[in-house]
Chain A
Amino acid sequence: AQKVTQAQTEISVVEKEDVTLDCVYETRDTTYYLFWYKQPPSGELVFLIRRNSFDEQNEISGRYSWNFQKSTSSFNFTITASQVVDSAVYFCALREYNNNDMRFGAGTRLTVKP
Chain B
Amino acid sequence: KAGVTQTPRYLIKTRGQQVTLSCSPISGHRSVSWYQQTPGQGLQFLFEYFSETQRNKGNFPGRFSGRQFSNSRSEMNVSTLELGDSALYLCASSVEQGFGYEQYFGPGTRLTVT
**Interfacial residues, chain A to chain B (CB-CB below 8 A):** 33, 35, 37, 42-47, 50, 52, 91, 93, 95, 97, 100-107
Contacts and interface: CB of A to CB of B under 8 A. Distances in A.
Which of B43, B56, B58, B110 has the largest number of chain A CB atoms within 10 A? B43
- SS class, residues of chain A in contact with chain B: strand
Contacts of A91: 43
Interface string B71-114: 00000000000000000101010000111101111111010000
A45 B33 CA distance: 13
20 contacts: A33-B100, A35-B102, A43-B110, A44-B107, A45-B90, A45-B92, A45-B105, A46-B105, A47-B102, A50-B102, A52-B100, A91-B43, A97-B99, A100-B48, A100-B97, A101-B56, A102-B35, A102-B45, A102-B103, A106-B42
Nearest to B42: A106
- SS class, residues of chain B in contact with chain A: strand
B55 interface: yes
A38 to B, nearest CB: 10
Interface in B49-68: 55-56, 58
Contacts of B33: 102
Contact of A104 (B42, B88, B99, B107): B42
Contacts of B98: 95, 100
Given A47-B104, A95-B98, 20 more contacts: A33-B100, A35-B102, A42-B107, A43-B88, A43-B108, A44-B106, A45-B90, A45-B92, A45-B105, A47-B102, A91-B43, A93-B43, A101-B56, A102-B35, A102-B103, A104-B43, A104-B44, A106-B42, A107-B42, A107-B43
